[in-house]
Amino acid sequence: MTLLRVEGLTKHFPVRGRGLVRAVDGIDFAVAAGETLGLVGESGCGKTTTGRMLVRLLEPTGGRIVFEGRDISHLGRRDLRLLRQDLQIIFQDPYASLNPRHTVGRIVAMPLEVNGIRPPGGVKQRVRELLELVGLNPEHYNRYPHEFSGGQRQRIGIARALALRPKLIVADEPVSALDVSIQAQVVNLLRGLQRDLGLAFVFIAHDLAVVRHFCQRVAVMYLGRIVEIGDREQIYERPRHPYTRALLSAVPEVTAPARANGRIRLAGDVPTPLDPPSGCRFRTRCWKARDVCATTEPALTNGVACHFPEGDDG
Amino acid sequence: MRGAVGPAADPYLQVRDLRVRFATEDGVVRAVDGVSFAVERGRTLGIVGESGSGKSVTSLAVLGLHDPKRATVTGEILVGGRDVVGRPDEEVRRLRGRDMAMIFQDPLSALHPYYPVGRQIAEAYRVHHPRAGRAEARGRTVQMLDRVGIPQPERRARQYPHEFSGGMRQRAMIAMALVNDPDLLIADEPTTALDVTVQAQILDLLEDLQKEFDSAIVLITHDLGVVSQVADDVLVMYGGRAVEHGSAEQVLRRPRHPYTSGLLACVPTLHGDADADLVPIPGSPPSLIHLPAGCAFHPRCRYADDRSRAEVPELRSVAEGHLVACHRPGVAS
Amino acid sequence: MSLSTEIPTVAPPPPTEVDVAGRSPGQLAWARLRRDRVAVISGGLLVFFLILAVAAPLVELLYGIGPYDQFQEKLRRSDGLPLGYAGGISREHWFGLEPGSGRDIFIRLVYGIRTSLFIAVMAALLTSLIGITLGILAGYLGGWVDSVISWLTDFALALPFLIFALAVMPTVELRFYGPRDEVPTWFRVAVLIAIFAAFGWTGMARLVRGQVISLREREFVEAARASGAGLGHMLFRQLLPNLWAPILVSFSLAVPAYVTGEAALSFLNIGIRDPTPDFGVMIFRSIDWLQGDPAYVFFPGVTIFALVLAFNLFGDALRDALDPKSSR
């Protein structure tokens, strides 16, 4: 059952005197109930903007966001309230995402307070349950964020997102600010929650390895567009878009098999979204680009947006 | 450039029993607690650790960048045979930039926003070449920008840092660090702020440049993948102390300290079983004010015994050039 | 200009997780404040001045002399200078007598502190209230609200304070009272406070606006928004608790500015007038007697100096305690 469907979603930011930043420029995807979709790409690809639009922290410029069959892309504040109980967000920065002047209990209870929800057994009881659920000591209810480590703070942020029992959580780089030895703890926690509570996730990350361990499906974004989308297997084992291949090959790994094997190095940086290249946006860095790539933008067909996808040219 | 750690004939950088302490209102922070290592010309040492491991504090001590009012630095830091510790500021400053240079994580904050990039690089050159004329410095700047792979170096030299993309800024930063042909290059998380595809370019560049300039490189990072790609030797730090030290091959392929093994095991990879849970290291890194007694890692170590809890393990050789600070080396492998 | 060597020196790394039982940022700041010797001394002095101001009638009762009591018999008939040494200091009159009027300087100073602190604190409270309200609204709402408030701020800053005060005080007095009427002191006090408030809110408004703009982008504010929080929750629950630190510091530095400001206006004869006890009035009167009775200027001068210095030192210590990472 489709929980969330995104059609032609667009977000343009006007920049004074310099035109439009096409942060997200017409993307489509769907997330089924209880499914995890990874949104990967480099900085400026629009993954974070997409996440903010899904939870309506940003107003889409165009396109539709359909949640449980209902178009939510332009709901007013009052209607949004109900929606927000089903759709929550986890942030990247475990320091900025918790109000330093509030106790942990108050932070986790905030969504309940804002929505005037009094759970059976009381707010305090619910908060304790939530803290326990994310692996924190429920007795730490009265402590302040500065008394916790980065990993523990991220758990607090997760508990807050779970307070309203959402159906879908947008996780925006939830582990990238954490120490390596802590990342695995949080990834495991999120995996467990996803399994046990049947949550759907849109998992935004730049770290392809982390996404691989968390997501059933993956969408690769480049300059505001989805260039490839598919099952995890497909993306990681048989990538078809040149950009996906380059991205995977650029990840430095300790355990990588023989290094010379198919190593791809992209030239240059990502072009500015103020003035994206004509046709295929990746063509300026692509080693397979030909004339058609500059004139015609490839559509996303069979999960890949490329005129010359891998596997088609033998 | 890889090879076994031979007997260090004449290491360019030699650090012996380095200790750095900060007095804070909560108590004394022992940021670095007796660390020793050496780097020869043409080799790269990767210092790996998490936040609070002391890796960045170590690098700043080598460059003599700690404020003496806040930090107490003891031990020996020999750069080309001259001890940096306790040397007057003025002399260390002369070494810095000419004999040793640094690449920062965030080039945007290390470059001055109001001066053209080229002018800043030329300035760095002229500080240490007082007799060089304007034209010579400019020529050298363009040459360096070209060398680090910045297209149209003449035009780029006149632009300001904000006109550069992240990857280009880091290249410019590297050009500035190398403009005086330093013998020692310290790179503190040089690619952490960059995208993976750009990171790959920069790592390749560093590798190429090292061959060409034959400098000693200290690379500080939390990313084991990055270390495995460029380092010849690896030093793993935890709680301000060295826990494992050896060639990259030894430390990353045959780790003998439970912390190193744990770190390698908990990183998600692009290979292997994606459905299996990751194997995390429990707990979090220790407070540097109240470091656990004995081995600092023991509260998170599943192999800890009474001895680990009571006695700080010394770095001991477990193989040729492979040092481990553990009472039960190899227990986790 | 040595660009290459301009490398920032590093701060010590933040201590990782120290096991302290549930101490709020406010409690931590309080603990830091109590460890700061300057803060303790200046704070103690402030408390002393405050008690003196509040308990002025009690002091009068114990001292046995009122601020308007005149002791003409203790002045020299010829030139009105107090008899005795150093402006007539004696067991009955601790700080001596005012030349000319023969009033007791000590009790007039005690009441002077009362007048002065009342005006300064009220003015600071009023300016903070206006400044916080406008600053939060401008910072959080942005858009045209921000434009209008910022324009108002610039407008208020562009008005020359002293000329405005000189022009407005007499005009307002004339508007409500005839030229021959006695203008009551409370009215002058109210007008003074109003003038200070009309000019003083800009600093607080700018400070708060800037703070709110930087807080607005923080993820905890977004988290509240993503949970459907309304404007009231945003402003009062999420933002305001994070603004108290700069507001308190700004407030504690505004009070001494108003103390000197009020004294200056009274000195220029457009604030409080004789015989109401006040620093500015006393210093103004003492100028005429400087030659014959230098002790007269000494006591009000030293008191106002001590009061303002204590406030400023305490404000600085407060800033350090609330934000230990700031410059030190």
Which DSSP state fits C179? T
Query: Which chains have at least 3 CB atom pairs separated by less than 8 Å from chain C?
Result: A, B
Q: Which residues form the domain of C56?
A: 26-322
For residue B29, give the nearest of C10, C15, C324 by CB distance.
Answer: C15
Least confident of A285-294, B119-128, C61-70, C145-154: C61-70
Taking all residues of chain A, what is their mean pLDDT, rounded to a whole number? 90
User: For residue A298, what pLDDT is reported?
Assistant: 93
Residue of A294, A284, C211, C206 lying closest to B197 (CA atoms) = A284
| Rg over CA atoms, chain C | 24
Say if the Cβ atoms of B282 and A185 lie within 8 Å: yes
What single-letter amino acid sits at A250?
A
Residues of A within an 8 Å Cβ radius of C: 55-57, 77, 80-81, 84-85, 88-89, 91-93, 96-103, 107, 110-111, 113-115, 142-144, 146-149, 157, 160, 164
pLDDT in tens, A162-210: 999 999 999 999 999 898 889 999 999 999 999 999 999 999 999 999 9
Provide the domain count of chain A.
Answer: 1
Residues pairing with B38 in the sheet = B14
pLDDT above 70 (res B87): yes
Would A94 be classed as within a structural domain?
Answer: yes
Interface test with B, best of A40, A149, A180 (most B CBs within 10 A): A180
Domain with A246, as residue range(s), is 2-258
Query: Which residues, in sequence order, are bridge partners of residue B188?
Result: B220
- The answer to whether the CB atoms of A256 and B271 lie below 8 A apart is yes
> What residue type is assigned to position C207 of the chain?
L
Indicate the residue type of B285.
P
Look up residue A89 and give its two tokens: 């967000």
Q: Is residue A272 part of a domain?
A: no
Q: b or e along A237-267 (b: 16 or more beta carbons within 10 Å of the residue's beta carbon)?
A: eebbbbbbbbbbbbbbbbebeeeeeeeeebe
Q: Is the pLDDT of residue B155 over 70?
A: yes
Closest-approach residue (CA) in chain B for C321? B25
Q: Which of residues 24-43 of C touch B (CB under 8 A)?
A: 32, 35
Count: domains in chain C: 1
Q: What is the pLDDT of residue C8?
A: 39
Comparing CA positions, the residue from C14, C245, C173 lying closest to residue A147 is: C14
Mutation target for A interface from B206, B270, B302: give the one with most A CBs within 10 A. Answer: B270
Strand B322-324 to strand B316-319: parallel, antiparallel, or no bridges (unpaired)? antiparallel
How far apart are the C-alpha atoms of C97 and C104, rounded to whole Å?
Answer: 5
| Those residues with Cβ within 8 angstroms of residue B138's Cβ, 6 or more apart along the chain or in another chain | B118, B122, B157
The candidate with the shortest Cα–Cα distance to B64, out of B45, B79, B81, B47, is: B79
Assess if residue A131 is contained within a domain: yes
Q: Estimate the crossing angle of helix C295-322 against helix C37-54, to 10 degrees.
A: 130
Residue B296: closest CA among B305, B306, B309: B309
**pLDDT above 80 (res C202):** yes
Q: In Å, how far are B243, B259, B301, B326, B331 from B304, measured between CA atoms?
A: 14, 11, 5, 10, 10
Q: What is the DSSP letter of A271?
A: P
Specify the CATH number for the domain of residue C221: 1.10.3720.10
By C-alpha distance, which of A280, A271, A225, A201 is closest to A9?
A225
The Cα B298–Cα B158 span in angstroms is 54
- pLDDT score for C56: 84
pLDDT at C17: 41
The residue-averaged pLDDT of A277-294 equals 91
Look at residue C21 and tell me if it is in a domain.
Answer: no
3-state secondary structure of B327: coil
pLDDT at C92 over 80: no
Q: Is residue A305 part of a domain?
A: no
Q: Measured between CB atoms, which of A77, A100, A148 is closest to C25?
A: A100
pLDDT of res. B21: 93
- In this structure, is residue A274 part of a structural domain? no
Distance CA C216, CA C235 (A): 10
Alpha-helix residue ranges (DSSP H) falling in B102-215: 107-110, 117-128, 134-147, 153-157, 166-178, 196-213
> Which residue shows structure tokens 């750009």?
B198
Query: Which region among B146-150, B163-167, C104-108, C273-277 has the lowest average model confidence (pLDDT)?
Result: C273-277
Question: What is residue B211's predicted lDDT score, i.e. its pLDDT?
Answer: 86
Q: β-strands B216-221, B44-48: how paired?
A: parallel
With respect to residue A225, please indicate whether it lies within any of the assigned structural domains: yes
Query: Is the predicted pLDDT of residue B311 greater than 70, yes or no?
Result: yes
Q: Measure the CA–CA gap between A86 and A164, rounded to whole angstroms.
A: 7
Top pLDDT among A154 and C72 is at: A154
- Parallel/antiparallel/unpaired status of strands A2-15 and A62-67: antiparallel
A147–C228 CB contact, under 8 Å: no
Query: Where do we find the tokens 């007057």?
Result: B88
**Cα angle for residues B216, B221, B224 (degrees, 5° grid):** 105
What is the model's pLDDT at position C16? 42
Say if C236 falls within a structural domain.
yes
Contact C271, C265 (CB under 8 A): yes
Q: How far apart (Å, rounded) are the C-alpha atoms in residues A294 and A291?
A: 6
- Determine what percent of chain C is predicted with pLDDT higher than 90: 20
Position A9 in a domain: yes
How many angstroms away from the CA of A251 is the closest CA of chain B?
A: 6
The H-or-E segment that residue B34 falls in is: strand B27-39
Distance (Å, whole) CA A80 – CA C229: 11
Identity of the amino acid at C217: E
Instruction: State pTM to two decimals.
Output: 0.85
* Whether residue B90 has pLDDT greater than 50: yes
The proportion of chain B whose per-residue pLDDT surpasses 90, expressed as a percent, equals 51
pLDDT at C14 exceeding the cut of 50: no
CB contact under 8 A, B268 and A210: yes
* β-sheet bridge partners, residue B22: B29, B71
Q: End-to-end CA distance of chain A, in Å? A: 36
B83 φ, ψ to 5°? -80, 125
Separation of alpha carbons B264 and B266, rounded Å: 6
For the cut 50, the answer to whether the pLDDT of residue C12 exceeds it is: no
Least confident of A135-149, A293-307, C288-302: C288-302
Q: DSSP letter at C12? A: P
Residue B5 pLDDT class (50, 70, 90 cuts): very low
Q: Chain B closest CA to A5's CA: distance in Å? A: 26
The rounded distance, in Å, linking the Cα atoms of B179 and B177 is 6
pLDDT, tens digit, 9 for 90 and up, residues B250-292: 999 999 999 999 999 998 888 888 888 888 999 888 888 888 9
Computed over every residue of chain C, the mean pLDDT equals: 82
**Yes or no, beta carbons of A179 and B285 under 8 Å apart:** yes
The reply to whether residue A251 touches residue B279, judged by beta carbons under 8 angstroms, is no
**Tokens 């995977």, residue located:** A248
State the ipTM, two decimals.
Answer: 0.86
Looking from the CA of C234 toward its CB, the CA atoms found within 13 Å total 23
Q: How big is chain A by its Cα radius of gyration, in Å?
A: 21
Closest residue by Cα to residue C136 from C204, C198, C196, C199: C204
Whether residue A78 is contained in a domain is answered as: yes
**DSSP helix/strand/coil, C71:** coil
- B229: nearest CA partner in chain A: A252
**Residue A5 predicted with pLDDT over 90:** yes
List, for residues C227-268, the tens digit of each pLDDT value. 888 888 998 889 998 998 889 888 888 888 888 888 888 888
Among chain B residues, the shortest Cα distance to A257 is held by B271
Q: What is the mean pLDDT of residues A139-144?
A: 89
CATH of the domain at A53: 3.40.50.300
